[in-house]
Structure 1
Amino acid sequence: MSRREAKSVTATLPTGVEAPIFAEPWQAEAFAMTVALHDKGLFSWSEWAGALSAEVKQPGAASDGHDYYEHWLAALENLLSAKGVAGKGDIDALAAAWGRAALATPHGKPILLENDPSPTEGRGGPTG
């Protein structure tokens, strides 16, 4: 979202709301995934709070908090790995596949993982 777009969105928010909660769509998606995985019982809120706290306290974290959702995503990835759901390599390979699919998708069309031109690269074959 550009600064101009953000100002436009901010201008249309209800009174008392100064800015959007999420600066980028991926932040809202990471938030929603975390809530959904908690609702499915993958981890407790105390486990989540511990994982997120550990990430936010990492050296190099921005003092103004602009990298908060990057820490959020790292905490989620670490919990997924710790719980045996998906390892870091699996997550990275899937993220790369989505990136390739996005680049291979014509403008205005939905980005589908099936659009990945290298479907077997780092994902264990066409089905996985």
Structure 2
Amino acid sequence: MRGYARRFVADVTERNRLPLDFSVRSLRVVDFVLDGLRGSGRGRAEVAGPLFGFGAYVGEVLVRRAGAVWVDFDDGQRRFFGQPVGVRMPDGRVWSPLGKVVNRYEAGAEESLQLFYLTLPGRHAARTGDGRAEPEPARSR
């Protein structure tokens, strides 16, 4: 999935100049893009490719910033999440970023991906590429 996420980002950023840099802040960009897809009126099947790509991207943000690792789901997890792969957090919990992106597309803003990350239990502090803690996004008061 890591390679798929990198290729997806290279393709999307080249064509659309989206600031996707695998940072926590970039999840807000993904929320915005999904709002645009949602507003287009296209059905889930019509946008399945981009949804999968953004799911891989969100998963890779969890890997790079929260200490998660990609895992193949077992049969029970595949049935539960409706996806073949997900991430395991440092505390052992598993999540489906692919499914989370589908939920965001279908339900809208209440399924914010940035908020999902910020409230995610079991994550390590976000890190930059050089190992320093990444500053959390500013929160409105």
Same fold flag (TM > 0.5) = no
Larger strand proportion of the pair: 2
Bigger radius of gyration among the two? 1
By relative contact order (CA 8 Å, sep 6+), the higher-ranking structure is 2
Q: If the length of structure 1 is used for normalisation, what is the TM-score?
A: 0.26
